[in-house]
C-alpha cells in the first residue's frame, strides 16, 4: 500500500478511537470490517499506531502543538508503527523537519504527565501503592503486553505444545508461575495452527490462569464461574476438573457467553453449563444457594490492570465510574457467597490495580461475614507448587495475604484475588 494512503488511514483510525464512544478494540475491528482491502501487515500498522497514540496521548498531544495540519494526522505521525523511512516518504518537508525536532526531545526534559501518560486522578493512588516503583509501572503500562497461552492439560502437555509451536516457527517459553502457561514473542497468527483448532491452546494472560488455579476445583464438584464473560477462566477450571462434575458459567451478557461456545467446542469439555442471568439475584442463582463447592467471582471492574492491552480505558474510566463499580462489586460478591456450601471456597478477583476495587472490597466482606475465613493466598499458591509465591502476594489490613500482580513486577496484567473458606 502507498505510504500516503496508509498514513491517511492511520489518521482516520486515530480520530475514531479518540472519540472514546466505544472500546478501542471494537472501533478497530469495525474499521477493519469496513475496509477489507487491508492486508495483515497494514492492519498491524493501523492497530499498533492507534494503540500507541492511546498509550502516549498526553506526550503526543504536547508534541503535536508545534506541528501543523489536522490533529489526528500529527498524532498518527508521532505514533506510526513502522519503519521511519517508510513514514517519511509520506510526509511533506515541513512535517519531516517537525518530526525530527520531536524525535530529538529527551525524556528527561519532559514534564511528569508527558512521561507517565496517565490521567491525574490515577497517578496518586498508584504512587501510594508502589512508591518508587511508580515509574517502572508507568513504563510497563505504556508497552504492549506479551502474548500468553494456556495449554489445555485435559488433552495436551505444555512441553509437547512448546515443541509443536517451535516447529511452526513460534518460539515460546514456559510462564514462570502458571503451570499451564506459555509466553510467545510478538503476535503470531494462531487460529490456523493445529494446536489451536484441536483445543490444545487458548490465549489467556498468566495472571488470569492463576485465578483459575487458586479456585483449586476438583473432580466431581459443583462449581460456579459467577462472571464468566467469554469463558477463558471457565475453560481452565473445567480442565482442572477433568471434565467431570458440573461447572456453571453465569454472566449477565448472553452476547459474551456466545463467544464461549466455539471455545468450549474446541476444548473437549463436557461439564460446562453456560447460562445468561438477569442480575446477581437471578432465580437460577437462588436455586443453587448452599449447594456449590467453589465459586469464582471475577467481578466487573475498571480493567485498569489491562492498560497494556486496553490503553483507552485510562481515558474512558473516571473516579465516579469506579465508585459505581465498587457498589456493583459489593452486591455481586454478596450474592455469590450465598451459593457456597459449608467448607466451600470463594475467590474474589479483579483485573484492577485500584485498592478500592480490591482490598477495600475484600476487607469489607470479611468484616461483614464472620462465617467466611480469609485464606492466605501465598500459602495456597505454595501448596499448588507455584514458584516464589511470596513475590505474588501483599498483606491486607487483617494480615491475610492477597494475590497482587503488577505488570512491572510479574509481566502479567494487573490482578487481585482474595480467597475465603465458608465455615463448616
- Report, as residue numbers or ranges, the catalytic residues: 351
CA–CA separation, 99 and 203 (whole Å): 37
Residue 12: Cβ within 10 Å count: 18
CA–CA separation, 293 and 237 (whole Å): 13
Within 170-244, strands assigned E span 172-174, 181-184, 201-203, 222-225
What is the grid cell recorded at 387? 514458584
Task: Kindly state the DSSP code that residue 171 receives in the 8-state scheme.
Answer: -
Residue 277: Cβ within 10 Å count: 19
Long-range contacts made by residues 119-125, C-beta under 8 angstroms, separation at least 24? Answer: 119/314, 119/315, 121/318, 121/319, 122/304, 122/314, 125/354, 125/355
3-class SS of residue 176: coil
CA–CA separation, 78 and 69 (whole Å): 13
CA–CA separation, 30 and 48 (whole Å): 15
3-class SS of residue 306: helix
CA–CA separation, 330 and 393 (whole Å): 22
Q: How far is CA 101 from the centre of its chain?
A: 36
CA–CA separation, 405 and 209 (whole Å): 12
Q: How far is CA 286 from the centre of its chain?
A: 30
- Cβ burial of 424 (10 Å; 0-12, 13-18, 19+) is exposed
Amino acid at each position: 500500500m502507498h505510504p500516503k494512503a496508509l498514513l491517511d488511514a492511520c489518521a482516520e483510525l486515530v480520530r475514531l478511537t479518540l472519540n472514546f464512544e466505544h472500546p478501542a478494540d471494537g472501533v478497530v475491528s469495525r474499521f477493519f470490517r469496513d475496509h477489507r482491502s487491508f492486508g495483515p501487515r497494514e492492519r498491524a500498522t493501523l492497530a499498533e499506531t492507534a494503540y500507541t497514540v492511546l498509550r502516549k496521548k498526553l506526550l503526543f498531544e504536547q508534541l503535536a502543538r508545534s506541528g501543523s495540519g489536522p490533529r489526528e494526522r500529527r498524532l498518527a505521525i508521532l505514533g506510526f508503527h513502522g519503519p521511519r523511512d517508510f513514514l517519511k516518504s509520506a510526509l511533506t518537508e515541513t512535517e519531516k523537519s517537525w518530526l525530527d525536532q520531536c524525535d530529538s526531545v529527551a525524556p528527561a526534559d519532559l514534564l511528569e504527565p508527558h512521561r507517565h501518560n496517565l490521567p491525574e486522578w490515577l497517578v496518586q493512588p498508584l504512587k501510594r501503592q508502589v512508591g518508587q516503583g511508580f515509574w517502572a509501572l508507568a513504563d510497563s503500562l505504556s508497552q504492549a503486553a506479551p502474548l500468553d497461552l494456556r495449554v489445555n492439560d485435559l488433552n495436551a502437555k505444555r512441553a509437547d505444545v512448546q515443541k509443536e509451536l517451535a516447529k511452526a516457527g513460534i518460539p515460546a517459553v514456559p510462564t514462570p508461575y502458571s503451570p499451564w502457561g506459555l509466553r510467545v514473542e510478538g503476535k503470531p497468527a494462531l487460529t490456523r495452527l493445529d494446536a489451536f483448532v484441536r483445543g490444545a491452546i487458548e490465549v489467556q494472560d498468566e495472571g488470569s490462569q492463576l485465578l483459575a488455579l487458586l479456585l483449586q476445583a476438583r473432580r466431581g464438584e459443583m462449581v460456579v464461574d459467577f462472571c464468566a464473560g467469554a469463558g477463558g477462566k471457565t475453560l481452565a477450571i473445567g480442565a482442572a476438573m477433568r471434565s467431570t462434575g458440573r461447572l456453571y458459567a453465569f454472566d449477565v451478557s448472553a452476547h459474551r457467553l456466545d463467544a464461549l461456545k466455539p471455545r468450549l467446542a474446541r476444548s473437549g469439555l463436557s461439564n460446562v453449563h453456560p447460562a445468561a442471568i438477569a442480575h446477581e439475584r437471578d432465580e437460577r442463582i437462588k436455586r443453587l444457594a448452599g449447594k456449590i463447592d467453589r465459586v469464582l467471582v471475577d467481578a466487573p471492574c475498571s480493567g485498569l490492570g489491562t492498560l497494556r492491552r486496553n490503553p483507552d480505558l485510562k481515558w474512558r474510566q473516571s473516579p465516579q465510574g469506579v465508585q459505581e463499580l465498587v457498589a456493583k462489586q459489593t452486591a455481586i460478591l454478596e450474592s455469590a457467597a450465598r451459593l457456597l456450601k459449608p467448607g466451600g471456597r470463594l475467590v474474589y478477583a479483579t483485573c484492577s490495580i485500584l485498592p478500592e476495587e480490591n482490598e477495600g472490597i475484600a476487607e469489607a466482606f470479611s468484616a461483614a461475614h464472620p462465617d467466611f475465613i480469609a485464606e492466605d493466598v501465598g500459602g495456597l499458591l505454595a501448596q499448588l507448587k507455584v514458584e516464589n509465591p511470596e513475590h505474588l502476594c501483599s498483606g491486607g489490613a487483617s494480615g491475610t495475604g492477597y494475590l497482587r500482580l503488577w505488570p512491572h513486577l510479574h509481566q502479567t496484567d494487573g490482578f487481585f484475588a482474595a480467597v475465603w473458606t465458608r465455615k463448616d
